[in-house]
Amino acid sequence: MNYLFVDGNSLGYYHQKSDKLYNGEMEVQAAFGFVKNVRRYASILHARPMILWDGFSDKRRDFYPDYKANRDNDPDIKKMKEGFAIQKPYILKMMTALGVTQLIAKDAEADDLAGLLVSSIAPQPIVEHIYLLTGDSDWLQLVRENVSWVSLREDAKNKQVNFEQFAELTGFATPRAFLEAKALQGDNSDNISGVGGIGAGGAKELLHEWGSVATMVRGINDGSIVVNKGRHKTAFNKLAKNAFNEKTGCRMLEAFKRNITLMNLIETKFPPTEIETIKGNRDVKAFEQLCYELNFRSFLEDLEVFVLPFERYC
């Protein structure tokens, strides 16, 4: 059995930002694109779709108050989210009527739910492959032998990243190395500062040369590794000595460890403790009525054909 884990908010926001589509005065492009693409990827990948939704959680912000603080007052993001929120109830209903099960991490993020599910479901003998449909590169750390990352973006440089091609496509030998590189650099989109002095190039060099931050730090401190040349020699030595970085206002190793805690999805420190399950309950008539309500005529032109992938895989 193949699974398609869909990052619900990521897919919804992506289509909400696409060309406007209206039913009367109501924007409906998010709902239209969401349903269309869940169908598309379930069909292409021969996989059972499951939608993962964010709940509400301040766990990461309690741990790191600056987390996502840059999004709070962005008027464009606020407007986009408001437009999507109006359509979300329709998406929930349409997915249910198509037989798609949805999981809501009531007190966590969909990222943490994805990590939890990959850890628990991927090893099961009946699971052939899991596909992660998202626009979030953080989910790349979840790639395994039977887990692939699929970009929802049509213009993505790498549309799909599997375990065999991970190093070739990402530049990092392992998903763990990818995570450590992100922790070194920080993440501007989530307002997480890096360790300071080590950007994308430096992170890639460090992980390529030593495989992990721990190996380099241990080697420099016990004398088995000497870094006395190269563009990043000063930053690497300062990292190993846990030097204070004036720009970030934090010691470098402490910032790295903090970022690993914030970013690690496989061993998340912020797991959902309450997961709401909305079981799929196939009802073609209910789906048809919702399509009429939203004026999704292209879905209705050959409804039997449109619902076929859901009947086959859900």
Looking at residue 69, its pLDDT comes to 86
What's this model's pTM, rounded to 2 decimal places?
Answer: 0.96
Least confident among 54-58, 175-179, 273-277, 282-286: 54-58
Give the chain's mean pLDDT. Answer: 97
Q: What is the pLDDT of residues 12-33, one digit of tens each?
A: 999 999 999 999 999 999 999 9
pLDDT(92) > 90: yes
pLDDT(70) > 90: no
pLDDT(179) > 80: yes
pLDDT(171) > 90: yes
Q: Could you please report the per-residue DSSP string of 69-102?
A: GGGTT-HHHHHHHHHHHHHHHHHHHHHHHTT-EE
Looking at residue 266, its pLDDT comes to 93
Looking at residue 73, its pLDDT comes to 78
The mean pLDDT of 184-192, rounded to a whole number, is: 96
Looking at residue 256, its pLDDT comes to 99
Phi then psi dihedrals of residue 311, to 5 deg:
-65, -35
CB contact burial 88-105 (16+ within 10 A = b; e otherwise): bebbbbbbbbbbbbbbbb
Which helix (H) or strand (E) segment is 129 a member of? strand 129-134
Q: What is the pLDDT of residues 246-303, one digit of tens each?
A: 999 999 999 999 999 999 999 999 999 999 999 999 999 999 999 999 999 999 999 9
Please, what are the domains in the chain?
2-166+274-308 (3.40.50.1010), 175-263 (1.10.150.20)
Looking at residue 239, its pLDDT comes to 98
